[in-house]
Each structure stands twice: as structure tokens, then as C-alpha cells.
């Protein structure tokens, strides 16, 4: 835990701890892939290569440690996001909007849009919800409009 918080703090202020975090920093700067995940993948590659020499028990402990470091580092870098944003595109937005407001108790913004491929008129709904309510939202949308296009995004703050 301490190592994860420490590396997260160092990465947050633009530093590296040497070793594979330099490679992860290069991946982050060139691709925009999150620093904590870049570090996780480069370290995982080293662990996989080391598994050729060390026992399965050692490999398992290394992977568990790596995952825990990644989780705590991510908490420092980006916070513990419990909020998700949802974008729903539907031909039948009224009942979906009403269900979201009445069943999930969330406010909903909506825009009239035109499909880029089809040119058809649609309505886009947008709202934020707790991560634990995503399943409920999917049930509501599939019940009302199974053809709706739903995108779930991660929100850092709402």
C-alpha cells in the first residue's frame, strides 16, 4: 500500500522511480495511455519473464503485489471515482428520461442530434450516476428501447 501511494505521488508530480516506470513514462507521453496502467503492463512483462526462473508461488505473490501497487497508485493519481457518465442515443427518449428521473432519481440532459452515418434524427440523453446503479440503468433502457445506443464513461468528479 505504501509503495503504491509513494509511486502514485511521484508520478503525479511528473517524476519516476527509475526501473520500469521510465518505460511506463515513455508509453504515457507517446500514447496517452494512463501512467498507472502503463507501469502495470511493463512490470507485468518483467514478472512473466521472471516466471521462467522462479516458482509459481513467487510469481503469484509478485502479481498480487503488482495489482495492489497499481490500485493504490491509481487512487493517488486519479482518485476513487464512483461516478459514471452515461450517454444514451434513442428514437424513443421520453420514456427513458422519465424512468431515469423516477426510478434512479437522477436529472437528465438531452439534445436533439443527427446521426453521422444514417442522417436520422435522434435524441441524446446524458447524466451521471453511481457506478453501483449502472446495471439498473441498463435494465431500464433495454426494457424501454432495446435498440438504444448506450455509452458508459468514467467520471473523475461530478
Mean of the per-residue pLDDT values for the chain? 84
> Do 69 and 87 reside in the same domain of the chain?
no
Cα separation, 143 vs 137, in Å, equals 10
Q: What is the pLDDT of residues 6-45, one digit of tens each?
A: 877 877 777 777 777 788 778 878 887 776 677 778 888 8
* Residue 71 parent element (H or E): helix 56-78
pLDDT at res. 67: 83
Eight-state DSSP code of residue 116: T
pLDDT at res. 50: 87
Residues in the chain: 158
Domain membership of residue 69 as a residue range: 2-78
Domain of residue 100, CATH code: 3.30.70.120
Cell reading at 131: 457506478
The domain total for the chain is: 2
Cα separation, 145 vs 59, in Å, equals 47
> Do 88 and 130 reside in the same domain of the chain?
yes
Q: What's the rounded mean pLDDT across residues 109-138?
A: 89
SS3 54: coil
pLDDT band with cut points at 50, 70 and 90 for residue 141: very high
> Do 74 and 89 reside in the same domain of the chain?
no
> Do 10 and 70 reside in the same domain of the chain?
yes
pLDDT at res. 79: 66
pLDDT band with cut points at 50, 70 and 90 for residue 81: low
Q: What is the pLDDT of residues 36-80, one digit of tens each?
A: 677 778 888 888 888 888 888 888 998 898 888 877 877 776 666
pTM across the whole model: 0.54
> Do 74 and 92 reside in the same domain of the chain?
no
> Do 9 and 70 reside in the same domain of the chain?
yes
Query: What is the CA 63 to chain-centroid distance, rounded?
Result: 21
> Do 58 and 101 reside in the same domain of the chain?
no
> Do 8 and 40 reside in the same domain of the chain?
yes
> Do 141 and 93 reside in the same domain of the chain?
yes
Cα separation, 76 vs 121, in Å, equals 43
pLDDT at res. 78: 66
Domain limit, last residue, from 78, 96, 126: 78
Burial tier of 90 (Cβ tally within 10 Å: 0-12, 13-18, 19+): buried
In the block, cell 442515443 appears at 89
C-beta of residue 86 within 8 angstroms of C-beta of residue 127 = yes
Say what percent of the chain tops pLDDT 90: 28
Amino acid at each position: 500500500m505504501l509503495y503504491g501511494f509513494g509511486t502514485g505521488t511521484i508520478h503525479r508530480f511528473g517524476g519516476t522511480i527509475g526501473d520500469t516506470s521510465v518505460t511506463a513514462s515513455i508509453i504515457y507521453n507517446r500514447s496517452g495511455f494512463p501512467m498507472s496502467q502503463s507501469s502495470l503492463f511493463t512490470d507485468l512483462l518483467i514478472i512473466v519473464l521472471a516466471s521462467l526462473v522462479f516458482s509459481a508461488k513467487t510469481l503469484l505473490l509478485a502479481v498480487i503485489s503488482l495489482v495492489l501497487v497499481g490500485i493504490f497508485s491509481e487512487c493517488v493519481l486519479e482518485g476513487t471515482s464512483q461516478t459514471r457518465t452515461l450517454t444514451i442515443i434513442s428514437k424513443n427518449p421520453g420514456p427513458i428520461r422519465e424512468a431515469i428521473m423516477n426510478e434512479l432519481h437522477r436529472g437528465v440532459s438531452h439534445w436533439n442530434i443527427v446521426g453521422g452515418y444514417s442522417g436520422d434524427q435522434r435524441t441524446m440523453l446524458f447524466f451521471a450516476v453511481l457506478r453501483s446503479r449502472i446495471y439498473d440503468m441498463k435494465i431500464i433502457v433495454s426494457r424501454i428501447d432495446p435498440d438504444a445506443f448506450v455509452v458508459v464513461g468514467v467520471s473523475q468528479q461530478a
